[in-house]
Amino acid sequence: MTVITLSDLSAEIEWKAIKNVHLTIYPPDARIHVSAPLAMTEDAVRLFLITKLPWIRQRVSQILCFGRKSLLQRTTVSFESRLRPYSCKSRSARE
């Protein structure tokens, strides 16, 4: 695993036998992880990260500001409360 540093952010790069690049930011410490195809060079990964830098900064700030809620802080929604009768207007009502 390689670590690439972009200005104030660092990302760990893992090369795998995959077809597409996967960018993941893990809470609670906003760790940036990139899974890249074996054929992709380190410079190509760096260029990919530079193009995604605004999105990465936004997500990192969200994760660090809000943090991850513990299981006790999460509110649960019962299954029945999410079921709503489907309201469909008939064709004659729309005309």
- Binned at pLDDT 50, 70 and 90, residue 83 comes out as low
List Cα–Cα distances, 58 to 8, 35, 54, 65, in angstroms.
14, 20, 6, 11
For the entire predicted model, the pTM comes to 0.68
| pLDDT at position 84 | 53
State the pairing for strand pair 9-16/31-37: parallel
| pLDDT at position 94 | 47
Please give the share of the chain, as a percent, with pLDDT higher than 90: 55
| Sheet order of strands, 22-26 included | 2-6, 9-16, 31-37, 22-26
Distance CA 4, CA 10 (A): 6
What 3-state class would DSSP assign to 26?
Answer: strand
- Binned at pLDDT 50, 70 and 90, residue 82 comes out as low
Please give the share of the chain, as a percent, with pLDDT higher than 70: 69
